[in-house]
Chain A
Amino acid sequence: MYTREIRKALFDINGIVLIVASIILIIIFSFSNPHFFTLNNFRVLLESMSILAILSIGVHFLLVAGEIDISFASVLSLSAAVAAVASPGNTFYIILVSLLAAAAVGVVNGFFTAKVGIPSFLVTLATMVGVQGIVYIITDYRAVLLSNDLVIKIFFGRFDVVGKTATAVFWMIVLLIISGVTLSYAKYGRWAYSTGGNARAAMLMGIPTKRVKFILFIISSLMGGIAGLIMVSRAHSARPLIGDGLLMPAIAAPILGGALLTGGRGSITRTTLGCLLLTIITNGVNLLGFEPAYRDIIMGSILIGALSIRTLQQKGGNFLIRKRKQNS
């Protein structure tokens, strides 16, 4: 059933560009470094991608609904810090409080954006700063050890399946499938597209647009929470700035995949391809021994390029639509 949506997304121009770009980069990096095209490196690549992809799911949901969340990196740090501070207690309790802390930020974001009407960029900018402050207080500016093995096993455990790939990859795949199917086939998923495409029309047709946005902010923060649990399980400790550096790529991935900042468009399949491309760049640049600064320059350039192509595409598309309407 979902395969039709995947096919449609892959054969869209954005999907083709992402696939071709990823293949070209794989070829370049494979010739540049013998360690790139190895099974072990692809495992590392998938594990790195898992955190980015989970964060991008949350961003993707909100972009589809015409909103944005930039607080998720702080939410990731908060969730990781809460889990570390709550350890070595009961595993269920650690996961629960960690995700509740994340969801609470989503409730604040959703309330001030959907109910009060403040632009989401400003609300989430404020919560990003505020939540990071809370993280500093919780961790006392230091790295806090996560001393619960079961949490580590659940979120970044290595079992004797598929070359001991970490469970984070499993979580990524499950969440990508659930979110893709939800957006394409569930009523709330379609309502997210309607809300982002034309909030007024959706509201007039009886769609509870405010509630839709409110729920999506909570989902976005929960994704940050899950990514935080994976991050803290991978590092075995929570640094106050553990989510640093993820803000730009997690927003860039859905945009590369065709999501519009104005809402109403986007595909989880292409967002996944966007994550893959960005992870390949990070991984390849690291293996080539370049400083992370070069990675940031490449990512920034790619994002500007993608946005320019999108704008030109839209202008061309609008021209064709106008011509067609004139003829009909």
Chain B
Amino acid sequence: MRLGKRGGTIRMIESKTTGSAVNKVGANVVLECRNITKNFGHIQALKGISFKLHEEEILGLVGDNGAGKSTIIKIIRGVFKPSSGEIYIEGEKKEFENPGSAIREGIQCVYQESAMVEQLSVAENFFLGREPIKRYAKGLIKFVDFKKMRAEANQHLMDVGFNLEIEEEINNFSGGQRQAVAVARALYSKPKILLLDEPTTALSEKAQMRLFTLFRRIREICPMIFVTHDLDDAIKLCDRIMIIKLGGPAFETDVKESCKKEEILKYM
């Protein structure tokens, strides 16, 4: 298995973190956003957001629709450039020109709509944008290595607990199965940070719980930022929650046994 960035494997992690979220956050800061602002014309979508993401942590960004949480994700993901502010990854300042450059820096994302191409197979969606290449005629001819693609996609999906027909078109699968492919795809490149942009919003309760279990299993492999409008979901999954309101930070708290939902709701 190759999922563990630091040599860990899914199976090892599973034995440590079965059940609810465990507040076991590493000390090292993996991602830091400093005073991020974003203007769309005269509209200020983000008004100076700062936060840190630590090793083995799941940070929840919670807010209503239009609060600006997805804008932050898109900035970290390289889709938008911030109007001002800085992003640091493992202490190093980074600027992303496009999603490709963010991916190269180890940032992967799972979206609400799972970012799949309906007409392609599970294996092709798994390797979307980074297809393995086989060289022929001394490297002059380069073709996609479908055999490797199928074998590796199958293996990695099994690692995250899903056994899907790898050659079938992705539009034949349910939302939960597609999100599992999206998560396995994101983990394949051993990311430093995994962004979860409302990945469970359109899913059934059962599919949602299955994905939450998966996220808990992988938190030691890579820290995550979980974006949601649902406070209950954030409390179920995250170690720390940051409430975002009207483009700015409103409240931040660790998720503990004594954590009162009503208290947090006041800030939303």
Within 8 A of B (CB), among A193-230: 193-194, 197-198, 200-208
> Can you show 12 pairs from A to B with CB atoms below 8 A apart?
A186-B142, A187-B144, A194-B117, A194-B129, A197-B118, A198-B115, A204-B77, A204-B111, A206-B103, A264-B119, A324-B172, A325-B173
B169 closest partner in A (C-beta): A321
Residues of A within 8 A of B266 (CB): none
Give the shortest distance, in Å, between B187 (CB) and chain A (any CB): 14
Which one of B129, B143, B146, B174 contacts A202 once the chains associate, using CB atoms below 8 Å?
B129
Given A185-B144, A207-B129, A264-B118, decide whether A328 and B111 contact each other with a Cβ distance below 8 A. Answer: no
Given A186-B142, A187-B144, A325-B173, decide whether A208 and B119 contact each other with a Cβ distance below 8 A. Answer: no
Residues of A within 8 A of B131 (CB): 187, 190
> A197 to B169, alpha carbons, bound, how many Å?
12
The interface residues of chain A, by DSSP majority, are classed as: helix
Give the shortest distance, in Å, between B263 (CB) and chain A (any CB): 36
Q: Is the CB of A328 within 8 A of B117?
A: no
A265 interface residue, CB < 8 Å from B? yes
Q: Is the CB of B119 within 8 A of A265?
A: yes
Give the shortest distance, in Å, between A121 (CB) and chain B (any CB): 22
Q: Is the CB of A321 within 8 A of B172?
A: yes
Within 8 A of A (CB), among B92-139: 98-100, 103, 109, 111, 115-120, 124, 128-131, 133
Which one of A186, A191, A201 contacts B115 once the chains associate, using CB atoms below 8 Å?
A201
> A110 to B170, alpha carbons, bound, how many Å?
30
B29 interface residue, CB < 8 Å from A? no
Given A185-B143, A187-B144, decide whether A205 and B119 contact each other with a Cβ distance below 8 A. Answer: no
Residue from the set B128, B146, B172 with the largest chain A CB neighbour count within 10 Å = B128
Q: Is the CB of A194 within 8 A of B118?
A: no
Give the shortest distance, in Å, between A104 (CB) and chain B (any CB): 27
> A204 to B118, alpha carbons, bound, how many Å?
15
In the complex, given contacts A193-B120, A194-B120, A198-B117, what are 14 additional A-B residue pairs having Cβ atoms less than 8 angstroms apart? Answer: A185-B143, A190-B124, A191-B129, A197-B120, A200-B115, A202-B117, A202-B128, A204-B99, A204-B115, A205-B115, A205-B129, A206-B100, A207-B129, A328-B177
Q: How many residues of A contact B (CB 8 A)?
A: 24
Q: Is the CB of B111 within 8 A of A193?
A: no
Given A187-B142, A197-B120, decide whether A206 and B173 contact each other with a Cβ distance below 8 A. Answer: no
Residues of B within 8 A of A197 (CB): 117-120
B171 interface residue, CB < 8 Å from A? yes
Q: Which residues of B contact A (CB under 8 A)?
A: 77, 79, 98-100, 103, 109, 111, 115-120, 124, 128-131, 133, 142-144, 146, 171-175, 177
Give the shortest distance, in Å, between B231 (CB) and chain A (any CB): 27
Q: Is the CB of A328 within 8 A of B173?
A: yes
> A200 to B113, alpha carbons, bound, how many Å?
11
Given A186-B144, A205-B99, A208-B100, decide whether A325 and B120 contact each other with a Cβ distance below 8 A. Answer: no
Give the shortest distance, in Å, between A178 (CB) and chain B (any CB): 11
Give the shortest distance, in Å, between B109 (CB) and chain A (any CB): 7
Residues of A within 8 A of B143 (CB): 185-186
Give the shortest distance, in Å, between B175 (CB) and chain A (any CB): 8
Residues of A within 8 A of B117 (CB): 193-194, 197-198, 201-202, 264
Give the shortest distance, in Å, between A199 (CB) and chain B (any CB): 9
Give the shortest distance, in Å, between A232 (CB) and chain B (any CB): 32
Q: Is the CB of B116 within 8 A of A201?
A: yes
Minimum-distance CB pairs A-B, first 6: A205-B129, A197-B117, A206-B100, A201-B115, A264-B119, A185-B143
Which one of B99, B100, B133, B171 contacts A187 once the chains associate, using CB atoms below 8 Å?
B133
Residues of B within 8 A of A198 (CB): 115-118
Given A187-B133, A206-B100, decide whether A193 and B119 contact each other with a Cβ distance below 8 A. Answer: yes
Within 8 A of B (CB), among A153-200: 185-187, 190-191, 193-194, 197-198, 200
B175 closest partner in A (C-beta): A325
Residues of B within 8 A of A325 (CB): 172-175
A64 closest partner in B (C-beta): B119
Residues of A within 8 A of B171 (CB): 321
Q: Is the CB of A194 within 8 A of B128?
A: yes
Residues of B within 8 A of A321 (CB): 171-172
Give the shortest distance, in Å, between A105 (CB) and chain B (any CB): 28
Q: Is the CB of B144 within 8 A of A190?
A: yes
Within 8 A of B (CB), among A274-328: 321, 324-325, 328
> A200 to B173, alpha carbons, bound, how many Å?
20
Q: Is the CB of A205 within 8 A of B128?
A: yes
> A208 to B101, alpha carbons, bound, how many Å?
11
Residues of B within 8 A of A190 (CB): 124, 131, 144
Residue from the set B77, B116, B119, B144 with the largest chain A CB neighbour count within 10 Å = B119
Residues of B within 8 A of A201 (CB): 115-117, 128
A209 closest partner in B (C-beta): B129
> A68 to B120, alpha carbons, bound, how many Å?
21
> A200 to B99, alpha carbons, bound, how many Å?
11
Give the shortest distance, in Å, between B113 (CB) and chain A (any CB): 8
Q: Is the CB of A206 within 8 A of B120?
A: no
> A265 to B119, alpha carbons, bound, how many Å?
7
Give the shortest distance, in Å, between A210 (CB) and chain B (any CB): 10
A320 closest partner in B (C-beta): B172
Residues of A within 8 A of B98 (CB): 206
> A203 to B116, alpha carbons, bound, how many Å?
11
Residues of A within 8 A of B99 (CB): 203-206
Residues of B within 8 A of A203 (CB): 99
